[in-house]
Amino acid sequence: MKPSVPLVSGWLLGLLIAAPALAQNTVNGPWVSLTSTPQPPATYTPQVLLQLPTSATVWAVRIGSLGMGSTRTQADVSADNGTTWQPAIIAGAVDFWAFDAQRAWLITDFTGATRLRVTTTGPGGFAVAPTQIPGTVDFIRFFSPTVGVAIDNVSAGATSWPIYRSTDGGQSWQLVTSAPALAADAQPSACTLLGNNLWVATTKGQLLLTANAGLTWTSASTPEPLTQVSFRDGQHGLAMGTSVAHLLYRTVDGGLTWTLSSPTGPRRLRALVAVPGTPGTYLSVGSNLDNPNDTNGTARSADDGQTWQDLGGTTALGSIVANSAGQAWVSQSYSGTLQRFAGAALPTYTAVQSVVSGVYPNPTTGRVQLPTAGAYRTVAVYDTTGHQCRTATLGATETALDLSSLGAGLYLLRWEGGSAAPQQQRLVVAP
């Protein structure tokens, strides 16, 4: 039900996975299994919750089945990118969130009663919090070590979404009075956090949104109930629908509106994740064990999901996570085995999509001429770390852009919106 790393920088990972070929084996594709990775908690592991809270930290909470209705949950954390691990057995895990290798929050469920557990010493230190969150919690997310929210399962008779907020690290919780009205018979189904933004997809095609760390909320309607919602920044995201076809939808306004995408190439259907900080880069993984219409392996898109490139692999994959530090991890479907994205930064830039023609001069001292006037609506500028330096709205007859406020260096310009497909081009700003 639930999906919403140092090797290289986020920018370089975007370049790496955009390469036309990767020298990896045909079984794992771009992923490598580490000899130090902890073993799965059980033979059958249907659910794996992954998170990369810092550049070298990876958490995995794996919920395994021992048969006859018995489960075993294992929480593992590595603070050195998978070289060494600290494991712990956790009973009844439902959801978790980590801020670093030591601080994390865990929701457990015993006979229908959820409990909040907190640790400041890694997975072995989880203890029941002194104050519990009312109701039955489905998701917990923290924007900082102190500010977090909990999304409850909806109880009978509720008229607004049961969202609770904490400003003291989970020591106390207050009901959010600005929570949106509740769609009939809806329940939360997916939760995605990026910066101070949080998106909660629901089973009835309603998307809950906050852009200020849960202080205020709004809602939007989606074409169908969404799952695997992922954002590369606060405005641009992709999501898959829950129908059999797992249709792909795109937003450019933070989730307020969604449009159906018609992607080409070998898109996978099991899980989807953005590489934050990179312009337009997403990974998708597949598992024919979960969906006979899916294909095992990994694919990437460098143009916001319009086209997908096969990265290889024949293994059925489950959960996937990536972060702006350039790391990515995946779990194998059912076994729960963890794997890390393998590779090295490319020595030269590999074009990830069609290059805009007519952008000149390049190099520039600050002012450049734009592509055909009226073909695009916005232009974004990224530096070599993947940070968005600026964005501008283009008028129908606008033909130039002033970049004199930027420092000397290499930048990526990306145009989108309007009648033309998104495109991008490297640009050098001279001293």
d(CA 188, CA 180): 13
Percentage of the chain exceeding pLDDT 70: 85
Summarize pLDDT for 164-221 with one digit per residue, the tens. 999 999 999 999 998 999 988 899 999 999 999 999 999 999 999 999 999 999 999 9
Residue where a domain stops, chosen among 306, 324, 341: 341
Domain co-membership, 96 together with 151: yes
Per-residue 3-state assignment (H helix, E strand, C coil) for the chain: CCCCCCCCCHHHHHHHHCCCCCCCCCCCCCEECCCCCCCCCCCEEEEEEEEEEECCEEEEEEEEEEECCEEEEEEEEECCCCCCCEEEEECCEEEEEECCCCCEEEEEEECCEEEEEEECCCHHHCEECCCCCCCCEEEEEECCCCCEEEEECCCCCCCECCEEEECCCCCCCEECCCCCECCCCCCEEEEEEECCEEEEEECCCEEEEECCCCCCCEEEECCCCEEEEEECCCCCEEEEECCCCCCEEEECCCCCCCEECCCECCCCCCEEEECCCCCCCEEEEECCCCCCCCCCEEEEECCCCCECEEEECCCCEEEEEECCCCCEEEEECECCCEEEECCCCCCCCCCCCCECCCCECCCECCEEECCCCCCCCEEEEECCCCCEEEEEECCCCCCEEECCCCCCEEEEEEEECCCCCCEEEEEEECC
Same domain, 133 and 234: yes
Note whether residue 358 is domain-resident.
no
Give the domain extent around 121: 10-341
Among 325, 341, 357, residue at a domain's last position: 341
Is residue 235 located within the same domain as residue 380? no
Asked if residue 349 belongs to a domain, the reply is no
Q: Strand 148-152 vs strand 163-166: parallel, antiparallel, or unpaired?
A: antiparallel
In a domain, 276, yes or no: yes
- Decide if 166 contacts 149 (C-beta within 8 A): yes
Please identify, among 303, 325, 341, the residue that sits at the C-terminal boundary of a domain. 341
φ and ψ of 322, to 5 deg = -145, 155
- Residue 244 domain-assigned (yes or no): yes
Residue 418: pLDDT band (50, 70, 90) is low
Lowest mean pLDDT among 91-105, 138-152, 343-357, 378-392: 343-357
List the structure tokens of 348.
């030269």
Mean pLDDT of 310-333: 90
| Stretch 261-268: mean pLDDT | 95
Residues 6+ apart with CB under 8 A from 425: 355, 356, 359, 362, 412, 413
Q: Identify the CATH number of the domain in which residue 166 sits.
A: 2.130.10.10
- Report pLDDT digits (tens) over 102-114: 999 999 987 668 9
In the chain, the N- to C-terminal Cα span, in Å, equals: 51
Q: What is the mean pLDDT of the chain?
A: 84
Q: Indicate whether this model's pTM tops 0.95.
A: no
Q: Residue 326 class from Cβ within 10 Å (0-12 exposed, 13-18 middle, 19+ buried)?
A: buried
Residues 323 and 414 in one domain: no
For residue 348, pLDDT over 60 is answered with no
The predicted structure's pLDDT at residue 216? 96
The answer on 177 and 128 residing in a single domain is: yes
Does 56 map to a domain?
yes
Which pair of structure tokens corresponds to residue 366?
Answer: 């600050």
Task: Name the band, by pLDDT with cuts 50, 70 and 90, for residue 354.
Answer: very low
- Closest of 365, 343, 219, 311 to residue 28, by C-alpha: 311
30 within a domain of the structure (yes/no) = yes
Question: What is the average pLDDT across 228-247?
Answer: 92
| Confidence category of residue 25, pLDDT binned at 50, 70, 90 | low
Tokens 């909470």 belong to 61
Number of compact structural domains in the chain: 2
The total number of residues shown for the chain amounts to 431
Same domain, 247 and 293: yes
Q: Are residues 104 and 157 in the same domain?
A: yes
Residues 275, 16 contacting (CB under 8 angstroms) = no
Query: 156 falls in which pLDDT band (50, 70, 90)?
Result: confident
Are 128 and 94 within one domain? yes
Query: Looking at residue 4, what is its pLDDT?
Result: 36
- Cα-atom radius of gyration of the chain, to the nearest Å? 22
Beta bridge partners of 60: 50, 76
pLDDT tens digit sequence for 33-50: 888 888 888 778 888 999
Question: Average of pLDDT values for 119-136?
Answer: 94
Q: Each residue of 54-104: pLDDT tens digit?
A: 888 999 999 887 776 677 889 999 999 999 999 998 888 999 999 999 999
Q: 188 and 59 in one domain?
A: yes
Higher pLDDT, 110 or 338: 338
Q: Are residues 414 and 301 located together in one domain of the fold?
A: no
CATH number of 375's domain: 2.60.40
What pLDDT does 361 receive?
86
371 shares its domain with 278: no
Residue 167 resides in a domain: yes
Instruction: Report d(CA 39, CA 184) in Å as an integer.
Output: 42
Contact 99, 77 (CB under 8 A): no
Structural domain includes residue 90 = yes
Whether residues 129 and 197 fall in one domain: yes
